[in-house]
Amino acid sequence: MSGLVHDEEQGGRPQLAGAQHASWSGQLLEQQRICPSAVFQSLNNLRIERTRIRPLGADSSKKGGNADVELAYLSSKETVIDNLESVMLSCVAVKKFRFDDDTVDDRVLARITHEINLLTKLSHFNIVELVGFVEDVKEGIAWMIFPWENNGNLREYLNSMNLEIPERVSLILDVAQGIKYLHNLNPPICHGDLKSVGLIYT
C-alpha cells in the first residue's frame, strides 16, 4: 500500500505508501494462483523502460525490509538519458525489490505483482499513486515507481517539526481515513505493515 502524504495547501496530509498489501481473508498469495508474467502483461500500460530511470546516487538510497528506495529522475522519453536538457525530467521514488542469491523467486514476484495490481485499483487522497513499474525477470529486476515527496516519510517530518497536539491529531485522522478506505473495500484490504516510515508526507 502506499504511504500517507501531507499536502501543504491543506495543512498537511499523510498517504499510505510502499507497504505490503494483503487480503483481509488471510489467503496466501500462492493459494490465489497469481501468475506474475500474466499480471505484468495485463498492466503493460504502466510499464516503464529501464532506460528512462536515472538514479541520483547511493546517497539517495534508503534500505527497507525487502526493498531499497532511492530518488531518481524519470525522463519523458523512452531513451537513454544522455543530454538532460533534451528531455523533461521528474523526480520519482524507485522501490527496488531484492532477490536472494541473485535468483528470481516466483513467490517474491507473486507478492510484487500482487502489490502492483492492488495499487492500480485504489483511488483515495490518502493512498499514494503508482506511477508505473520496471520489470526484467531475466535480470532479476522488479521496481515500483512512485512520485517523489520532498518532505520524506512521516517519521522524518515529525522529527524535523515541532507540531502542536491539534496538528498531530490531524495527521492521525488522515492515516485513519486511508485505513478506513482500505477496510471498506470489497473484499477488505489490510495494510499489514503500518509504521511512520511507510507514510509519506506531502
Q: What is the pLDDT of residues 134-181, one digit of tens each?
A: 998 778 888 999 998 888 888 888 898 898 999 999 999 999 999 999
Q: Which residues of the chain have pLDDT under 50?
A: 1-11, 18-31
Integer Cα distance of 190 and 162 in angstroms:
31
**What per-residue confidence (pLDDT) applies to 84?**
53
**What per-residue confidence (pLDDT) applies to 101?**
60
**What per-residue confidence (pLDDT) applies to 9?**
38
User: Is 193 noted as a catalytic residue in this protein?
Assistant: yes
Residue 166 makes CB contacts below 8 A (sequence gap 6+) with none
Integer Cα distance of 202 and 200 in angstroms:
6
HSE on the CB side for 93, CA within 13 Å?
23
Q: Which of 59, 100, 174, 193 is catalytic?
A: 193
Task: Give the domain 36-149 fold.
Answer: Phosphorylase Kinase; domain 1 (3.30.200)
**What per-residue confidence (pLDDT) applies to 52?**
92
**What per-residue confidence (pLDDT) applies to 60?**
63
**What per-residue confidence (pLDDT) applies to 6?**
34
**What per-residue confidence (pLDDT) applies to 183?**
94
